Amino acid sequence: MSEHYTLRCRECNRDWGNRPGSICEDCLAPLEVKYDLDAARASFTRENIARRPASLWRYAELLPIPAGYRPEIPVGMTPLVSSARLGAQIGSRRLYIKNDAVNFPTLSFKDRVVAVALTQAKAFGFQTVSCSSTGNLANAVAAQAARQGFDAWIFIPADLEPAKILGTQVFGARLVRIAGNYDQVNRLCSQIGERFHWGFVNINLRPYYAEGSKTVGYEIAEQLGWHLPDNIVVPMAGGSLITKIHKAFQELIALGIVESKTVRFFGAQATGCSPISRAVKNGKDEIDPQKPSTIARSLAIGNPADGLYASRAIRTSGGWSEDVSDEEIVAGMELLATSEGIFGETAAGVTVGCAKALIAQGRIQTDEETVLCVTGNGLKTTDALAGRYPLEDAIEPRLAAFEKFIGQTMAVSAVS
């Protein structure tokens, strides 16, 4: 193999080359992609990166992209927006939102992981790509498979949000609903992966998939003018995203592109599915699996594959983890929308709710630079807001009718 990256065991450090698989056959620990950072140093510079297209492919030296691969889909480079109005509401004077609710093409950060996983699906000769999903991954695999000519088979818990189901089917993917929760779907997919020669982006392509998450970290650093924030709040499902943003910052430090600094990592979960947050609060890395029950479906993974590494990254960084109730999730979605004009999904409500709690606890300080990761779009989870904004009766298309209407509205708001 002449690639600039290779799979390496996270625990015993054995190299495995590049091939489908996510577990070390010697010690059963997870595999991770390693790079020759010294080889990357010459071309991975601020100046070179600035000249490249505005997508995650601009970080090619630190992504597992086979030589000669031509990216077709401009994923990533989502806005990092200064969020003074939300900051004023929750007590931060230097708050930013990294807004992956507008990622291309399917409006969540999962577009990143799929873009990277499919480079390897092609390299390994898979014609069919697949995944187990809590929704957003399903959308991203279906869309990018269509664009790149793969067949797609998608496995989901039967009771996902309708918009996430429709937003998979529209791309022509084969959708299999499973009468069970995500952890059961995922177990089934591991068995299917052994029987069929399919590329499961989050199972046998998982080490490559996970590298896509790093680009959230590279973009935040670049968009802050190549420096690192003090704190970052990240929603957690399997725990991969938070672990990989951590890896991204460490790679940038190792390459000397940003100053050496310990960024505090804060994990966010729904209380109804909070195995990682529980572990952090109990001061340990081991995860006790849970049976999920929360409106934050995209985060409802009771047995998180990267929970151990997520909890370790949080604890060693000096950060913490919080979790919030379904009511607080809805309140967080509304607060984000009314203060910043950003409609994030339930996971965004989790992030905002947890950030608010962490600031109130003094774990995040008012004057520190803090980035919140908004990872998915609220138009996919409108069910969470069902019934909250009752429609008033339609009025006649006449000025007099509106004058009467506004008179009543004002009278009502004067009373309330």
Q: Which spans of this chain sit near ligand PLP (rule: CB under 6 A)?
A: 108, 110, 136, 213, 235-241, 298-299, 345, 347, 375-376
Q: Rounded distance, CA 357 to CA 181, Å?
A: 29
Q: In this chain, which of 1, 15, 19, 26 binds Zn ion, going by CB under 5 A?
A: 26
Nearer to ligand PLP, 126 or 182 (CB): 182
Tokens 């084969």 correspond to 174
Q: Which of residues 4-23 bind Zn ion (CB under 5 A)?
A: 9, 12
Residues in the chain, overall count: 416
Residue 12's binding partner, choosing from Zn ion, ligand PLP, none, with beta-carbon cut-off 5 to 8 A by kind? Zn ion
Residue 183's binding partner, choosing from ligand PLP, Zn ion, none, with beta-carbon cut-off 5 to 8 A by kind? none
Nearer to Zn ion, 8 or 58 (CB): 8
Residue 141's binding partner, choosing from ligand PLP, Zn ion, none, with beta-carbon cut-off 5 to 8 A by kind? none
Distances (CA, A) of 352 to 28, 237, 265, 329, 402: 36, 16, 15, 8, 37
CB of 82 to ligand PLP, least distance (A): 22
Contact status: 410 vs Zn ion (CB under 5 A): no
Contact status: 27 vs Zn ion (CB under 5 A): yes
Q: Which residues are within 8 A (CB) of 223 and not within 5 positions of it... i.e. 6 or more apart?
A: 80
Residue 108's binding partner, choosing from ligand PLP, Zn ion, none, with beta-carbon cut-off 5 to 8 A by kind? ligand PLP
| 3-class DSSP state of 231 | strand
Nearer to ligand PLP, 6 or 377 (CB): 377
Q: Rounded distance, CA 206 to CA 223, Å?
A: 27
Question: Closest Cα to residue 174, out of 144, 134, 129?
Answer: 129
CB-count exposure of residue 159 (10 Å: 0-12, 13-18, 19+)? exposed
Nearer to Zn ion, 31 or 163 (CB): 31
CB of 186 to ligand PLP, least distance (A): 11
Nearer to ligand PLP, 348 or 357 (CB): 348
Tokens 């889909």 correspond to 73
Nearer to ligand PLP, 14 or 312 (CB): 312
Contact status: 163 vs Zn ion (CB under 5 A): no
Q: Which two tokens stand for residue 177?
A: 């609903």
Contact 211, 76 (CB under 8 A): no
- The backbone torsions φ and ψ at residue 343, rounded to the nearest 5 degrees and listed phi first, read -100, 95
Nearer to ligand PLP, 86 or 245 (CB): 245
Contact status: 287 vs Zn ion (CB under 5 A): no
| 3-class DSSP state of 355 | helix
Contact status: 25 vs Zn ion (CB under 5 A): no
Give the count of beta carbons closer than 10 Å to the beta carbon of residue 279. Answer: 25
Q: Which residues bind Zn ion (CB under 5 A)?
A: 9, 12, 24, 26-27, 29
